[in-house]
Amino acid sequence: MPNPDLALHNLATQLRIDSIRATTAAGSGHPTSSMSAADIMATLFFDVMRLDPKQPQSPANDKFVLSKGHAAPVLYSVWAELGLYPREHLLTLRRIDSDLEGHPTPELPFVAVPTGSLGQGLAVGLGMALQARLAGAPYRTYVLMGDGETAEGSVWEAAEVAAFYGVDNLCAIVDVNRLGQSQPTMWQHDMETHQRRWAGFGWNALVVDGHNIAGLRAAFVQAEKAQGRPTVLLARTLKGKGVSFIEDKNGWHGKALKPEEADAAIKELQQAVRPDPAGVKPWPSLPAGANNSAVAPVRAAAPGPSFKPGQQIATREAFGQALAALAPYDLRLVTIDGDVENSTFTQDFQKVSPERFFEGYIAEQNMTGMAMGFATTGRVPFVSTFACFLTRAADFVRLAGLARANVKFVGTHAGISIGEDGASQMGLEDLALFRALAESTVLYPSDGVSAWRAVELAAAQPGLCYIRTGRPKAGLIYANDEPFAIGKAKVLKQSARDRATVVAAGVTLFEALKAYEALQAKGVAIGVVDLFSVRPVDRDTLLAAARAAHNTLITVEDHYAAGGVGDAVSEAVSPAGVRVLRLAVEGMPRSGTPEELLHRYRIDADAIVACVESLPAD
């Protein structure tokens, strides 16, 4: 008669052996962290989860996130057991020519997001679980974390929001193996404290022996039966389980066994394999029911802007209006806001499509992680908050970039032009953050029309996008039918007499146009370029504008000098010998009216005029 507990025990032993062999071959890695999770992984993948091993990316599969990404060897071993690649491939771990990297990446078909920067997986899993609810899909989401990573505040951001949304299709597992990298974890094996903390956040918190297969199976059944709240399995485990000379011993984190040590460890583990008369190989169940988790396509082109001549509108307002206009036409869209929707104007989207609006509350890390989870399921999430607060989620943004996640970030209230709220509210580093990613699109609209077009472009553009918007109302520069494109700038003013060309975006573009008028009155001509696309930057247009103006560009930006418009322009044209003079926010900003601040920090029309007048005469 089949004995599933015995079969899973033997499979977990094989996962431990694989993890040792792979890390020893690599000469580095985390065998002990993989070994503590082996029973959990064997039970989860071969008894609990519903998935098709031949289609690891099927939308119908149950979802899994290995938040403790350093335990990658045990995950790779699972998929070798599932037949995705031969077991010998595990010995290529961490090689430059291998897809089995030190921490999981989406280069592998069974990995949704890169992990290993700890504290991110639960937020991603929450986004996946919310998508299942939104789509009426039956899949469940499982997230495996380490006990050390629960020191990360982002874990508790996700825990609180998950409990608020009552996502009973989300199950977290904490591998409580007691030992961190350098010393024991905060609560070690005090399982009562672990349980009390999670229960205090509203979770169904179950304590289980993480090496007892029967107990794990029963706990997962309880998790699936829970209603109205997420479940966490607090699995008491031992790091290096099954090998006497490393089990539950400090100082072995991230250390591969030497070949002779590995031989001894494997011999000891092989002795733990118990005869299974039935010989039935564990195997996951296929997804149940029809796959109804696919995201509906774009229905049709949405209407464009219809602003009135002379209308004053902030780019943040135009963003909200454009997003709401797209909602009925692009059913992929979801919006997540950080409790500022009445300032970011995502409240407009919320009014027309409340079921696709998710309040992220004041938890920017979790908000970003949720967006990554949505993006893995085919949604196109727009994430919005004040530009300065996105820097709180910088590590999540970094991982979204590594994932090539199709997430659209919108930072509002950018720069010192927000005025009296003061320095803590002024986004002055956001362009640097998003430009620094390996692959990203960064758009910086200046008026209502360009902001509207930026939203349309971002929604259609694959991958991570950032749109920078401002607080002040301003007039319109462009007609409603003006086309925009990613990677293209707009030449607003140009003549054969230009002494220099000013390159600006956002509020400083209006200052550049004021400077143009002031200099015209003095008989001095300048060109003006609306940069719009900060990344990719329009090198050809910038070079042509420079050549038409004595090979001189002046950049002016409501951002710190590092990483912003000036850097983007200089990187594009300086190799061609173009001189770039840069006006940016210098020093520590303070409260004041927008006009006072632009003048004080020398990014207004007066500063532009002075810069032009300081140039050598023709």
| Strands lying side by side in the sheet with 380-386 | 357-359, 333-337, 380-386, 408-412, 465-468, 441-443, 533-535
Separation of alpha carbons 17 and 31, rounded Å = 9
**CA separation, residue 495 to residues 199, 525, 532, 578 (Å):** 69, 7, 21, 18
Which among 81, 149, 317, 364 is annotated as catalytic? 364
Residue 129 C-alpha from the chain's centroid:
16
Cβ neighbours, 10 Å, residue 116: 21
Given a cut of 80, whether residue 177 has pLDDT beyond it is yes
Residue entry with tokens 């290995």: 66
DSSP state of 286: P
Q: Which of 417, 439, 408 is nearest to 322 (CA)?
A: 408
pLDDT at 610 (0 to 100): 98
What's the token pair of residue 249? 């011993």
Are the beta carbons of 72 and 66 closer than 8 angstroms?
A: yes
Residues 373-381, mean pLDDT to the nearest whole number: 96
Instruction: Give catalytic status of residue 364 as yes or no.
Output: yes
Sign of dihedral through CA atoms 474, 475, 480, 484?
negative
Cβ–Cβ < 8 Å for 145, 173: yes
Average pLDDT of the residues in 241-270: 97
Query: Using one digit for the tens of pLDDT, what is the confidence trace for 20-74?
Result: 999 999 999 999 999 999 999 999 999 999 999 999 999 999 999 999 999 999 9
| Segment holding 606, helix H or strand E | helix 605-613
Share of the chain above pLDDT 90, in %: 95
Query: What pLDDT was estimated at residue 617?
Result: 76
Please give the model's pTM, rounded to 2 decimal places: 0.96
Instruction: Quote the CA–CA distance of 66 and 71 in Å, as a whole number.
Output: 8
Q: In angstroms, what CA-CA distances link 570 with 54, 151, 492, 575? A: 49, 42, 20, 8
**What would the mean pLDDT of 68-97 be, rounded to a whole number?**
98
Helix (H, G, I), strand (E, B) or coil at 611: helix
CA dihedral (506, 508, 514, 517) positive or negative: negative
pLDDT digits (tens, 9 = 90+) for 272-329: 999 888 788 899 999 976 555 567 777 778 899 999 999 999 999 999 999 999 999 9
In the chain, % of residues over pLDDT 70: 99
Predicted confidence at residue 110, as pLDDT, reads: 97
Nearest Cα to Cα of residue 81 among 19, 137, 142: 19
Mean pLDDT of the chain: 96
List Cβ neighbours of 151 (8 Å cut-off, separation of 6 or more). 185, 186
DSSP track, 390-457:
HGGGHHHHHHHHHTT---EEEEESBSGGG-TT-GGG-B-SHHHHHHTSSS-EEE---SHHHHHHHHHH
Q: What is the pLDDT of residue 1?
A: 64
Spatial contact of 144 and 155, defined as CB atoms under 8 Å apart? no
pLDDT, position 289: 61
Q: What domains are defined for the chain?
A: 4-270 (3.40.50.970), 315-468 (3.40.50.970), 490-613 (3.40.50.920)
pLDDT computed for residue 152 by the predictor: 97
- The whole-number pLDDT of residue 281 equals 87
Q: Is 309 buried (19+), middle (13-18) or exposed (0-12) by CB count in 10 A?
A: exposed
* Distance between CA atoms of residues 612 and 587, nearest Å: 22
CB of 444 within 8 A of CB of 386? no
What's the number of CA atoms in the CB half-sphere (13 Å) around residue 486? 20
Tokens of 550: 């004595």
525 bridge partner residues? 498
Rounded CA separation 484/469 (Å): 16
525-548 pLDDT, tens digit each: 999 999 999 999 999 999 999 999
H/E segment holding residue 493: strand 490-493
**Cα–Cα distance measured from residue 524 to residue 616, given in angstroms and rounded to the nearest whole number:** 13
Indicate the Cα dihedral angle 196, 197, 203, 208, nearest 10°: -60
DSSP 577: T
